[in-house]
């Protein structure tokens, strides 16, 4: 009986120790499974740093405060597919948490919703990809990366034998890597959701990227693969010998005068979630838009090379062109981690799932940032979830400044 008690006590201790060791990962798995639930999504999008490891960006020692322009009222309605939509209702229906309109580099509209505030750090999702692109451009200019036509495995030998072997950096920048990948968030078994669960368990993102295979020659088809951006993050850290956070703090965050703290979600090894893990405030997200609107120039300094800006927002191959395109999986065109719609005004935007957007219109000199927590994002019959309806929403605001 005494031996049985000792055995049961030992077993209980093992269970308790296992619970202590695995509780954080079990908590993260539960968080991932309920990340987009209607009653949790808003709070989840502003508190990810309380659940996952993170790498912090400090406010710039010389913060840039946007000047205040003449305040505007938003247009009452916009047209989409021949039907008029009420703008205020569209804002509510897409679960907007923050909306900022900049005209000629000055704030003309700024409003927060669903308890977000000017200091709320909100998840970027894939808007982060456009920040990574800017950092790659700086690294090329500084000579850390020789040229974008180099195969990425010349820098990352761990990718030899994977689908990324022999793939030029440029094709990865343009979401044309040829990698086989299912990005459907609505599919529980998709690759992006498989990655999310592996990430929650603490698996290395680098190892996940190295496990992927290709399905077609690179540079021939525009297929959105979020892990492409992770590979760009791997490239950045290897080429610069700095973490993404360190390099970004020095090359973007400080020079752009970011006002607030921010952070990258990381995996258990400390590697940033380059494909979408940046958490920042509405105004600080806007500064990448202002930087690109001004061709990479900021505070009398060329932060991102002008030539890189141009290449980033210019589709340069048939499979990257906007519109109905048999060589693309999307109606929007693509540059270096920026989306390009069909337009006569040179518009382009950064986009994240669940309706995160940085919209730039160089013709009207307008930048609009919209943060959202739209739990109906995967319902493509739901009008506020559609990128073409959101574009019309942005356009009617930008066009109100014309003439």
106: part of which helix (H) or strand (E)?
Answer: strand 106-112
**Tens of pLDDT along 121-166?**
999 999 999 999 999 999 999 999 999 999 999 999 999 999 999 9
**Tens of pLDDT along 110-119?**
999 999 999 9
Distance (Å, whole) CA 124 – CA 133: 15
Distance (Å, whole) CA 123 – CA 352: 9
98: part of which helix (H) or strand (E)?
Answer: strand 96-103
Domain residue ranges in the chain: 41-150+231-399
Q: Of the ranges 23-37, 80-94, 307-321, which one carries the lowest mean pLDDT score?
A: 23-37
**What pTM was estimated for this model as a whole?**
0.93
**Tens of pLDDT along 70-84?**
999 999 999 999 999
Flag whether pLDDT at 13 surpasses 70: no
Name the average pLDDT for the chain. Answer: 94
Distance (Å, whole) CA 208 – CA 204: 6
**Tens of pLDDT along 291-342?**
999 999 998 999 999 999 999 999 999 999 999 999 999 999 999 999 999 9
From the centroid of its chain, how far is CA 352? 5
User: Which residues have a Cβ under 8 Å from the Cβ of 110 and sit 6 or more positions away?
Assistant: 99, 100, 101, 118, 282, 283
Distance (Å, whole) CA 387 – CA 375: 15
Flag whether pLDDT at 18 surpasses 50: no
Strand order in the sheet with 106-112: 67-68, 106-112, 96-103, 366-372, 356-361, 348-352, 339-340, 333-334
Flag whether pLDDT at 362 surpasses 80: yes
The pLDDT assigned to 133 comes to: 98
186 — pLDDT class (breaks 50, 70, 90): confident
The pLDDT assigned to 7 comes to: 55
Query: How confident is the model over 212-219, as a mean pLDDT?
Result: 97
Question: Torsion angle, CA of 232/237/240/246, rounded to 10 degrees?
Answer: 110
The pLDDT assigned to 19 comes to: 47
Flag whether pLDDT at 16 surpasses 90: no
* CA neighbor of 47 nearest in space, from 58, 60, 34: 34
Distance (Å, whole) CA 160 – CA 158: 6
β-strand partners of 183? none
Contact 243, 251 (CB under 8 A): no
Burial-class residue 165 by CB neighbours within 10 Å (0-12, 13-18, 19+).
middle
The CATH classification number of 41-150+231-399 equals 3.40.710.10
């Amino acid at each position: 009986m005494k031996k049985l008690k000792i055995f049961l006590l030992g077993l209980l201790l093992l269970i308790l120790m296992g619970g202590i060791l695995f509780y954080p990962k079990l908590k993260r798995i539960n968080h991932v499974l309920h990340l987009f639930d209607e009653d949790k999504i808003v709070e989840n999008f502003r508190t990810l740093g309380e659940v996952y490891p993170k790498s912090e960006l400090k406010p710039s020692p010389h913060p840039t405060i946007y000047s205040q322009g003449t305040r505007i009222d938003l247009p009452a309605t916009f047209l989409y597919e021949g039907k008029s939509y009420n703008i205020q209702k569209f804002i509510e229906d897409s679960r907007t948490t923050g909306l900022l309109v900049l005209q000629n580099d000055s704030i003309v509209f700024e409003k927060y919703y669903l308890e977000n505030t000017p200091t709320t750090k909100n998840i970027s999702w894939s808007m982060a990809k456009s920040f990574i692109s800017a950092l790659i451009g700086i690294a090329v200019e500084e000579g850390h990366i020789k040229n974008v036509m180099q195969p990425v495995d010349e820098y990352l030998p761990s990718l030899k034998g994977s689908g990324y072997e022999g793939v030029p950096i440029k094709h990865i920048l343009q979401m044309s890597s040829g990698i086989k990948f299912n990005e459907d968030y609505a599919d529980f078994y998709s690759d992006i959701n498989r990655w999310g669960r592996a990430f929650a368990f603490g698996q290395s993102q680098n190892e996940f990227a190295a496990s992927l295979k290709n399905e077609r020659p690179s540079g021939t088809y525009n297929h959105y693969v979020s892990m492409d951006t992770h590979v760009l993050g791997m490239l950045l850290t290897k080429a610069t010998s700095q973490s993404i956070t360190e390099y970004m703090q020095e090359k973007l965050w400080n020079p752009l005068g970011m006002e607030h703290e921010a952070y990258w979600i990381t995996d258990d090894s400390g590697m940033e979630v380059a494909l979408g893990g940046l958490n920042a405030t509405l105004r600080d997200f806007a500064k990448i838009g202002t930087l690109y609107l001004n061709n990479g120039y900021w505070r009398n300094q060329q932060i991102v090379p002008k030539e890189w800006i141009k290449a980033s927002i210019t589709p340069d191959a048939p499979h990257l062109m906007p519109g109905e395109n048999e060589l693309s999986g999307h109606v929007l065109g693509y540059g270096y981690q920026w989306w390009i719609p069909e337009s006569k005004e040179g518009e382009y935007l950064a986009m994240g799932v669940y309706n995160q957007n940085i919209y730039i219109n160089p013709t009207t000199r307008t930048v609009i940032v919209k943060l959202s927590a739209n739990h109906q994002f995967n319902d493509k019959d739901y009008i506020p979830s559609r990128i073409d309806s959101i574009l019309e929403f942005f356009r009617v605001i930008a066009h109100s400044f014309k003439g």
